[in-house]
Each structure stands twice: as structure tokens, then as C-alpha cells.
């Protein structure tokens, strides 16, 4: 995989630098940011621009306002948070395009920052509308993409505007993502284990097939494991099941056997009649029948032990998708156990990569984020990259 043009390759001094960041941060009911990790992740590229004497024009989306101005989705909290982190004023533009914004940009001095208002207040952002792209392009002379979480979308700010600008590059965050995910796919240290969880097999068929060409072991948990268990004739009660993926699950198990890849499925599970904070739970071996009306909502302790042993004997571990409904304490022990095993493996020298989304949230919830080699900032983008798909927000940046 060839390297892309990088922020350090461009002269930024005195130039208007339009940078796509991912400030799609969670807010509470008082519009306070509950997790600033995405803003922190963008700091190296932002600092590079302002320290190089560039005029830093930041653009991001927040939530899904669907082309309407929704005040609760304003980027004002992000501007305030970034000001605190940089100890420097960050102005918030009243819009993302238009004459007023252009005037603010024209008055910027070297090293100053301006955050454009939520891109998705305009339908032209997600539609990659040519006029919207041109209006954004008028604001900058250089384009930087450092928003990996949206790099799989061909939106105006990730693809359309970049194509209109001659000088364009990726920032530190995207380069790091491509290096870690690329190494995992192209040249992993062996033994290489992939852990896949989450709800649906159908969402991950392509990535399972692609990883089976690379991995020595594949651990499957979460709701998607139910479909594999059912495909092997296990009784799973009222658990989440993809009926139309049963044949696919059987075929994947056969393919793994032929290619010498060991697939590890849960050997025991935690079940309950309902998904509630306070509820009766039962641990069962997978051969035991899950009774009607009960659901599998986590893996059991023996599965945690077996999965942990595989993880700790690995040199590279890639994880995407939780083992259970970890947001509920009664069903968090499986995901916590896998997280702890991964942290121990990393402490012992393994390369651990979290593929964003719920897995990243779980690692943070259990306070293990500092003991993981790399936590991806893009769930959907990292999955599509692992599937071998081209990411529009990356492919628009020229190779070196």
C-alpha cells in the first residue's frame, strides 16, 4: 500500500488550510461534551497547521440534522472545547459556507483558527453537491483530511472539495489509521487473531472472508455468534438470530476448516428473559438448551477463559464488535474479559488494534485504552478498509 501525500509534505505558511476533522462528539442534555477523544485525536494536525503559520479552517459534522439547522447540533461546544485544549481562541463561523464566512476567512491571520458550523446543516454535504463543494473550496488554498470516521463516505467535505484543490494531504490521524490497519491486513506479526462480535453476520461476511485469508484464529462472539451456534444445531431460545444467514455461517465454518483457520465460538453463555438493568441471569453450556423466552446476551466465563488464552498466545490481535450487551452490567463480563486479555497481551508485546465503534467504547468504559496499541476512530471506515474497499476520503489524496 503506497503512502499518501502527508501534511508535512506541504508548505502551509500564510495559506488558508481547510481541514476536515471529526468533531462528531457525544453531548448530554445540557450540550456538554461527554467524551472529547475525537477532538483530542485531531490536535496533532491542528497544531501542525497553526505552528507552521497556516490559517486553520476546520470543518466537521455533528449528528444527523438532515440538511436543517438544528441548534442542538451546533458545533459551539466543540469550538469551546478546542479553545480549552489549545489554550487559544477558536472562532465559530455562523455557517459553513456563504459571504459572511468568506469575509471571516479573509480577515484571518497566520496561526488563527476558525471552525465552520455543522456541515450537515446543508443537504449539499451528504449529497456531495458540486455547488456546495465549490463554496467550501473558495475558503481554502490547501486541503487536509484527518477525519477517518467519515473517510468511507463520498461527501462534499471528504471527497468533492478535495478534488477541487491542488494541494491536498492526509493528517496525522488518518496516516496512523492507514499504517496500523494496513499492517494488520498486509503484514501482521504471527500468530494473528481477529475477534469479531456485534449483532449481525451479514454485516461482516466480507470482512470474515478477507480476514480468513490472513488470520491463524478467528474468535466470534456477540449476537452474531448465535447464528453460528444455531447453524451447528444448538438451541438458542429467543436469542437474536439471522435466519437467512444460517447457510452462510455453515459455509464459513467449512471454509475455515479447509483453510486451516481455527474458529473459536462461545462454549458457554449468559442468558436472561429480558434485557434489563436488574434481571435474573443463567449461565449455560452451549450444548444445553436455552429455554423458550430466554435470550443469550453475553458469553460465559469459560468462553472468556478460552478466548483469553488464544489472545495471549497471539502477536497481532484485531478486534471489532463486543461480546455481549456490555452497556448493561449483567452482560458486561464477556467484553470486559476480552478487553483485559487484550491489554495483557499488549503488555507482553503484542500489537492490539481496536476497529472503532462499540469495541472502542467498551475499552474506554473499562479504562483499558492506555494498554491498547491502536484504537481506530472509525467503526464503519475501518471495517470497509479491512474488507478491501476503497475509501473515497483517502483515494482522493494523491500517492507520494
What amino acid positions are annotated as catalytic residues? 38, 200, 357, 380
Under a CB-based contact definition with an 8 Å cutoff, are residues 157 and 20 in contact? yes
Nearest one of 370, 324, 371 to 349, comparing CA atoms: 371
Partners of 295 in the β-ladder: 272
| CA dist., res. 362 & res. 358, Å (int) | 6
Mode of pairing for the β-strands spanning 113-115 and 90-92: parallel
Give the angle subtended at the CA of 117 by the CAs of 115 and 119, to the nearest 5°. Answer: 110
Mode of pairing for the β-strands spanning 262-264 and 217-220: parallel
| CA dist., res. 333 & res. 183, Å (int) | 30
Under a CB-based contact definition with an 8 Å cutoff, are residues 341 and 374 in contact? no
- Give me the phi and psi of 380, to 5 degrees please: -65, -40
DSSP structure string for 24-40 = ---B-TTS-BS--HHHH
Three cell numbers written together for 133: 463543494
Nearest one of 123, 128, 131, 119 to 57, comparing CA atoms: 119
Q: Give the distance, in angstroms, between the CA of residue 113 and the centroid of all CA atoms in the same chain.
A: 26
Three cell numbers written together for 59: 470543518
Query: Which residue has cell 469459560?
Result: 302
Mode of pairing for the β-strands spanning 268-272 and 282-285: antiparallel
Under a CB-based contact definition with an 8 Å cutoff, are residues 205 and 248 in contact? yes
Amino acid at each position: 500500500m503506497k503512502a499518501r501525500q502527508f501534511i508535512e509534505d506541504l508548505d502551509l505558511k500564510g495559506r488558508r488550510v481547510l481541514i476536515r476533522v471529526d468533531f462528531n462528539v457525544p453531548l448530554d442534555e445540557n450540550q456538554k461534551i461527554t467524551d472529547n477523544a475525537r477532538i483530542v485525536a485531531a490536535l496533532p494536525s491542528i497544531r501542525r497547521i497553526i505552528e507552521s503559520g497556516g490559517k486553520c479552517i476546520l470543518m466537521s459534522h455533528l449528528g444527523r440534522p438532515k440538511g436543517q439547522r438544528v441548534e442542538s447540533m451546533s458545533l459551539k461546544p466543540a469550538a469551546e472545547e478546542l479553545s480549552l485544549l489549545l489554550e487559544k481562541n477558536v472562532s465559530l463561523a455562523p455557517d459553513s459556507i456563504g459571504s459572511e464566512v468568506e469575509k471571516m476567512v479573509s480577515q484571518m491571520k497566520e496561526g488563527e483558527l476558525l471552525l465552520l458550523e455543522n456541515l450537515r446543516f446543508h443537504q449539499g454535504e451528504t449529497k456531495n453537491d458540486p455547488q456546495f463543494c465549490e463554496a467550501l473550496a473558495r475558503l481554502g488554498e490547501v486541503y487536509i483530511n484527518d477525519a477517518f470516521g467519515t473517510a468511507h463516505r463520498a461527501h462534499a467535505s471528504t471527497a468533492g472539495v478535495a478534488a477541487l484543490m491542488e494541494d491536498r494531504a492526509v493528517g496525522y490521524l488518518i496516516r496512523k489509521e492507514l499504517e496500523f490497519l494496513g499492517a494488520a491486513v498486509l503484514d501482521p506479526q504471527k500468530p494473528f487473531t481477529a475477534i469479531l462480535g456485534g449483532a449481525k453476520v451479514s454485516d461482516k461476511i466480507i470482512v470474515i472472508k478477507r480476514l480468513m485469508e490472513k488470520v491463524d484464529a478467528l474468535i466470534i462472539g456477540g449476537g452474531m455468534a448465535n447464528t453460528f451456534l444455531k447453524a451447528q444445531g444448538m438451541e438458542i431460545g429467543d436469542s437474536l438470530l439471522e435466519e437467512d444467514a444460517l447457510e452462510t455461517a455453515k459455509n464459513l465454518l467449512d471454509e475455515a476448516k479447509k483453510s486451516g483457520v481455527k474458529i473459536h465460538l462461545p462454549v458457554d453463555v449468559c442468558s436472561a428473559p429480558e434485557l434489563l438493568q436488574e434481571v435474573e441471569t443463567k449461565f449455560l453450556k452451549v450444548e444445553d438448551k436455552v429455554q423458550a423466552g430466554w435470550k443469550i446476551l453475553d458469553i460465559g466465563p469459560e468462553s472468556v477463559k478460552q478466548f483469553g488464552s488464544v489472545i495471549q498466545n497471539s502477536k497481532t490481535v484485531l478486534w471489532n464488535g463486543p461480546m455481549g450487551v456490555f452497556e448493561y452490567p449483567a452482560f458486561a463480563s464477556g467484553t470486559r474479559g476480552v478487553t483485559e486479555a487484550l491489554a495483557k497481551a499488549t503488555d507482553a508485546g503484542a500489537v492490539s488494534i481496536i476497529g472503532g465503534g462499540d469495541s472502542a467504547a467498551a475499552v474506554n468504559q473499562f479504562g483499558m485504552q492506555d494498554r491498547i496499541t491502536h484504537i481506530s476512530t472509525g467503526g464503519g471506515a475501518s471495517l470497509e478498509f479491512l474488507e478491501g474497499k476503497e475509501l473515497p476520503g483517502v483515494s482522493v489524496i494523491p500517492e507520494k
